[in-house]
A and B are shown apart, each in its own frame.
Chain A
């Protein structure tokens, strides 16, 4: 009973990595994702890996159930009870439009107007009661929403972040008659000011709660039927895990957990390799996720907007999604210039090379034409891609309008794509005050290592790291992630006027709330780690800067100094003239799980497998006979050009790139 399995559900594939802590044995599986019920794919992956259920001690699961439910708006019927006069906050939003230019577009609130009811009550900004809660009206509202067929309920009152008494009372009243546990009070999900953002976050939680709960219940019963009834953990967007038994309570925390687990795995792997500062680059079929790791810790933000006007403001690993992937389509615009993306061929029809009727040239097609991808080994595609057909399409759609032959046109597609991607990546990483030379580029995902050398060169990052198993990074994230619970409370006072004992009291409360959750989960942990930070700003600003705090006890002077230092690093501006504010206090309570020795992932075949062959690949305006290596049989060092293939990933070394394989099986490439 020494096996652990990490299972991540992605858009196309469900990936599994299983490890035996006793023998060090590793098994991998990759099966198609089953969108209608992800549990089928999860079970199929376990079957494919042939791990005996009796031998499994723990399953850690990353699911997109909640993210997909939100994006596809397949949500539980949810009602809202809110402060009199404010039921339309969720519909009116913050006075925005979907795009800067163009006045068309549409927005649908998460809860329709007829299911948003008001009750008399009012708290002011200092937490004083202006109007007491009308309890009979609250009971009546609960009754009406039940009668309207609501399964979930949100209670969202103004200023509940500073005084939750009315929300707590209304919650108690609702629980008297609500037939299930799906009642969410705004302050309990997010104790931060800003009524729209808190209200939407609470609504997101309520409307995916039953969906996640049912999914996990079904998965657990399926697993039980097969003989597994031990621990099941679920990945969260904060990069930590939570016991499946309580995951649905804060269902919003599981949104965007897939990208988060990738970054967690990257932080773990890069730190183990000796590179605690990394920019993660996960390029897939339709999009690219970018994250930033400093001192081994992924950056966390509470400002995610899942889509237009859908803020989910719980702390999450700060992953930025860029709309460029292998399926991004190349077109010639009305100005006669080449564009790549944002339109994507998606999975259907997909790139031309999939042979499913796609006719628009994509990034993947360009990679094939240039010899970077193996036309006979496309994952999920039967048979070999028709290279001649792809060349003709690229010539027709891109080459002729630009006066280029098919090869030059394909090279142009890659150059533009890499240029756009690296620009977008700069905006979310280096342009925020970081020096590229302090980082490695950590490349994974199906297409990340294919483009990483070019991207690193564009960004001025001297070294890139491709982990031993780049195609299952998210599943690895599940296995290495710790248990984690985050707490944020608004303080919003001048640093110099602050009652520092109150701040320290809030931090202590956050710590005990986290410990309590860890106890309820009942997982064996090896220790406790606490991370504290403060969201700060100068008086008058609206943007906040996250400042890491050294411990649970802070002083006013320390807050001031830490903020000034962080501000200087970020903006190169000093402002002694203006007073600093402490807006939010944030604590992450982390239950440490056993460490994993990454050497087990290093797949080294016997030397006789090291025989290489050559394929012509296009670099710097010329064809180069390029050696093709199998990943498991690489020499310890080599110099590009070279192409390294493994089951679900291809790594490209441009001419002159120097590669070394480290003791964990990572590829370290100097560009």
Chain B
């Protein structure tokens, strides 16, 4: 029997191995999406079934579940094909249908050997800025099959016994844009796994492989207990939640995420997503790994202090939503699943559980990654470029406070690049980057605000593509709170205004010098009855210009005294 103190020490030790992998990967990476955007993750997975043992604390939230699924897919392949695995091998894989997300998330999976025996798997994933396909950056709004979205890699050994396979490398580099910098990411990704190998070996040397094995099993049981203790706070019953994706980018109709959550007497949570919309033509399908991971992520946002390992998610039982767009099969296009659909799934879960445990919940956050890519040619520098921008939006209000403004996506922790840096690299001028007034949903605690920005092309022609959401309906309020402001996109082409028919998704919009794009990102939903918001807070909202007087009167039901003070 393992003593509880050694158990904690080993738990910390496993976590430390992952955190050090995160650190090594992030500081050495090239892709700003990885280094600045933190769009990556590192972890340790069980040798037999790929179950999550530990994952770095600095990793992207949406990967909490998917990394385990992709490690499992690699293990299955290895078994099925009878492949040998040797120390120094590293598999590369980005196939969305094999436990993945979108093609840009490239995973490295490495067998870890201790004293000559396979002991576990180390894996990491990083978002590459490009993976080929019909639009730079990979977020096509109108792909109808996965082949259009980019290069799909089944699990293959990029490193064999420590040596990089130059032939596989050359295939990859011949199929992606800005290929010259990817070698930097590949080396950083592999170096991080090497750090993990070294640190994990030290941990096993110190405590013994058997003890660590016993600790892992015990920690799994304890994480499950802890999650059940949280679930126990939810009153028994069935709760329903709903969220809307504007469209799939091809067919201009909304897609519905509908979730039924049942809390059982055994403190399980059952998730039924089967009443969601059927698979769609455009790229808003979600692969099952991402669907599951989105549910995990939503629960982790609600109970943030539960540690992550395979046991954490054992009480969360998700029925495969066959026949819906949340269970996409080859060759359905999926580029929107990690960035957008995942956030709608989380939103539906938040929406459902608000009725059950309102104190722990919050109104819906903006919930879109706000991806915008502008690609073109800069005649002054005679250089082609691809510029990515991802912006945040308002968070929902909660019992604790109003929502924050320009928060990052629900699934991410990525910072946006500074405007001064973007203007250094690309021939564009930002004319505005401001708070989207009025966009915070009304409530006793109001939602945070979205962002307005305007980008003008200064030189050369360019094309813009975007995958955003919440253009049709704003993020939902909770407990009587109002919706947040909707996402808006407008393009000025030679003085004329163009609005994307799908509101938040479009691609290949032609831009000439002097043309510009204006975007407003969603605000967060309001929490609680707006008529209960304190007049002093409304007065402050007004002096800050967050709402107009008319909006305040209409949304919050106040009148104004002769000195301008709001009252009810």
Contact (A431, B23) CB under 8 Å given A337-B7, A540-B32, A573-B191: yes
Query: At the interface, yes or no: A655 with Cβ under 8 Å from chain B?
Result: no
Known: A89-B433, A105-B404, A337-B222. A402 touches B27 (CB 8 A): no
Segment at the B interface, from A163-171, A219-227, A419-427: A419-427
B137: Cβ under 8 A from any A Cβ: no
B4 in complex: contacting residue of A336, A432, A539, CB < 8 Å: A336
- Chain A neighbourhood of B390, CB < 8 A: 95
Candidates B9, B30, B430; contact of A415 at CB < 8 Å: B9
Cα–Cα, bound, A97→B60 (Å): 13
> Whole-angstrom distance from the CB of B306 to the nearest CB of chain A?
8
Residues of B within 8 A of A102 (CB): 301, 304
Which residues does chain B contribute within 8 Å of A431, judged by CB atoms? 20, 23-24
Query: Looking at the complex, which one of A85, A339, A570, A573 makes contact with B187 (CB distance below 8 Å)?
Result: A573
The CA of A106 and the CA of B401, in the complex, are separated in Å by 7
Chain B residues closer than 8 Å to A542, beta-carbon distance: 32, 35-36, 417
In contact, B362 and A103 (Cβ under 8 angstroms)? yes
Contact A95 B416 (CB under 8 A): yes
When chains A and B are docked, how far (Å) is the Cα of A159 from the Cα of B418?
Answer: 11
Q: Check if A335 sits within 8 Å of B226, measured CB to CB.
A: yes
Q: Which of B183, B304, B407 contacts A96 (CB 8 A)?
A: B407
B16 lies within 8 A of A95 (CB)? no
- Nearest CB to that of B419 among chain A residues? A195
Q: Find the A residue at minimum CB distance from B346.
A: A103
Say yes or no for A87: interface residue by CB 8 A criterion: yes
A22 at the interface (CB under 8 A from B): no
Q: Report the nearest A residue to B185, measured CB to CB.
A: A540
The answer to whether residues A578 and B431 also contact, given A96-B413, A125-B423, A195-B418 and a CB cut-off of 8 A, is no
Residues facing B in A549-604 (CB within 8 A) are: 570-573, 575, 577-578
CB of B522 within 8 Å of the partner chain = no
Contact of B424 among A335, A492, A540 (CB under 8 A): A492
Contact of A85 among B178, B396, B415, B434 (CB under 8 A): B434
Would you give the shortest CB distance from A206 to chain B, in whole angstroms? 20
Task: Select the residue from B304, B365, B406 with max chain A CB neighbours within 10 A.
Answer: B406
Write the chain B residue with the least CB distance to A409: B5
Q: Are B396 and A101 in contact (CB under 8 A)?
A: no
Per the 8 Å Cβ criterion, residues 182-203 of B in contact with A are 183-184, 187-188, 191, 194
Out of B24, B408, B432, which one reaches A571, CB within 8 Å? B24
A88 pairs with B420, CB closer than 8 A: no
Assembled-state Cα–Cα distance A214/B492 (Å): 52
B402 in contact (CB, < 8 A): yes
Query: Is B225's beta carbon under 8 Å from chain A?
Result: yes
Closest to B194 in A: A572
For A23, the chain B residues whose CB sits under 8 A away are: none
Q: How far is the CA of A335 from the CA of B224 in the complex (A)?
A: 8
- Which chain A residue lies CB-closest to B364? A103
- Output the residue of A105, A106, A541 with the most chain B CB within 10 A: A541
* Chain A positions 389 through 422: 1 when the CB is less than 8 Å from some CB of chain B, otherwise 0: 0000000000000110000000010011001100
B32 lies within 8 A of A104 (CB): no
Q: Is B90 an interface position by the 8 A CB rule?
A: no
Contact with A along B165-192 (1 / 0, CB 8 A): 0000000000000101101100110010
- What residues on B are CB-neighbors of A182 within 8 Å? none
- A342 CB, nearest partner CB in chain B, Å: 11
- The contact of A540 among B7, B9, B181, B402, by CB within 8 Å, is B181
Return the contact of B226 from the options A194, A333, A403, A415 (Cβ within 8 A): A333
**Cα distance A322–B41 in the bound complex, in angstroms:** 23
Name B11-27 residues within 8 Å CB distance of A: 11-13, 15-16, 19-20, 23-24, 26-27
Bound CA span A540–B181, Å: 7
A566 to chain B, nearest CB (A): 12
Stretch at the interface among A107-115, A269-277, A445-453: A107-115
Question: How far in angstroms is the closest Cβ of chain A from B381?
Answer: 11
Known contacts A99-B304, A107-B404, A578-B180: A195-B420 contact under CB 8 Å: yes
Establish whether residues B435 and A113, one from each chain, have CB atoms under 8 Å apart when the complex forms: yes
CB of B505 to closest CB in A, whole Å:
20
The reply to whether the CB of B252 lies closer than 8 angstroms to some CB of chain A is: no
> Given A85-B431, A492-B424, is A92 in contact with B451 using a C-beta cutoff of 8 Å?
yes
User: In the complex, A122→B12 CA distance in Å?
Assistant: 51
Task: Out of A114, A194, A333, A540, name the residue touching B545 (CB < 8 Å).
Answer: A114
Partner of B543, one of A106, A114, A339: A114
Q: Contact mask A124-158 → B, CB, 8 Å, 1/0?
A: 11000010000000000000000000000000001
Interface string of B324-368 (1 = CB under 8 A from A): 000000000000000000000000000000000000001001000
Instruction: Kindly state whether residue B398 has any CB partner on chain A within 8 Å.
Output: yes
Write out the residue numbers on chain A whose beta carbons fall within 8 Å of the beta carbon of B396. 103
Across-interface contacts of B9 in A (CB, < 8 A): 415-416, 419
Most chain A beta carbons < 10 A, residue from B230, B300, B544: B544
Measured CB to CB, the nearest residue on chain B to A574 is B187
Number of interface residues of A (CB under 8 A): 70
Closest residue of chain A to B28 (Cβ to Cβ) is: A571
Contact partner of B20 among A104, A193, A336, A427, CB < 8 A?
A427
Which of chain A's residues have a CB closer than 8 A to the CB of B16? 423, 426-427
- Residue of B at shortest CB range from A460? B202
CB atoms of A426 and B406 under 8 A apart: no
**A525-543 vs B: 1/0 string, CB under 8 Å?**
0000000000000111111
B307 within 8 A of A: yes
In the bound complex, CA of A195 to CA of B424 (Å)? 13
A113–B544 touching, CB < 8 Å: yes
Q: Which residues of B contact A572 (CB under 8 A)?
A: 191, 194
Contact with A along B427-450 (1 / 0, CB 8 A): 001111111000000000000000
Docked CA distance A412–B61 (Å): 32
Q: Is the CB of B434 within 8 A of A571?
A: no
Residues of chain B within 8 A of A107, CB atoms compared: 404-405
CB of A620 closer than 8 Å to a CB of B: no
Among B24, B225, B454, B545, point to the contact of A336 (Cβ < 8 A). Answer: B225
Q: Does A662 reach chain B (CB closer than 8 Å)?
A: no
**Residues from 31 to 77 in A contacting B, C-beta threshold 8 Å:** none
A159/B423 in contact, CB under 8 A: yes
> In the bound complex, do residue B30 and residue A538 qualify as a contact, i.e. CB atoms below 8 Å apart?
yes
Contact call A103/B432, Cβ cutoff below 8 A: no
A196 beta carbon closer than 8 Å to chain B:
yes
What residues of chain A lie closer than 8 Å to B191, measured between beta carbons?
571-573
Cα distance, A102 to B300, chains bound together (Å) = 7
The contact string, 1 if C-beta is below 8 Å from chain A, for chain B 206-229, is: 000000000000000011011001
Nearest Cβ in chain B — how far from A83, in angstroms? 10
In the complex, A338 Cα to B3 Cα: how many Å?
11
Quick check: A575 and B543 within 8 Å, CB to CB? no
Report B378-431 residues with CB < 8 Å from chain A CB. 390-392, 395-396, 398, 400-402, 404-408, 410, 413-421, 423-424, 429-431
Could you list 23 examples of A-B contacts with CB < 8 Å? A85-B454, A86-B432, A88-B451, A92-B392, A95-B391, A97-B395, A102-B301, A103-B395, A124-B429, A161-B420, A193-B418, A333-B226, A335-B307, A336-B222, A336-B225, A337-B8, A339-B8, A415-B5, A541-B32, A541-B184, A542-B32, A543-B27, A578-B183
Q: Closest 8 CB pairs between A and B?
A: A95-B392, A102-B304, A101-B304, A85-B432, A335-B222, A113-B544, A92-B406, A95-B416
Known: A92-B434, A95-B416. 8 other contacts (CB 8 A): A102-B304, A159-B423, A334-B226, A335-B226, A338-B8, A541-B32, A543-B26, A577-B183
Which residues of B pack against A, CB within 8 Å?
4-5, 7-9, 11-13, 15-16, 19-20, 23-24, 26-32, 35-36, 57-58, 61, 178, 180-181, 183-184, 187-188, 191, 194, 222-223, 225-226, 229-230, 300-301, 304, 307, 362, 365, 390-392, 395-396, 398, 400-402, 404-408, 410, 413-421, 423-424, 429-435, 451, 454, 543-546
Q: A residues engaging B (CB < 8 A)?
A: 85-89, 91-107, 112-114, 122, 124-125, 130, 158-159, 161, 193-197, 333-339, 402-403, 412, 415-416, 419-420, 423, 426-427, 431-432, 492, 538-543, 570-573, 575, 577-578
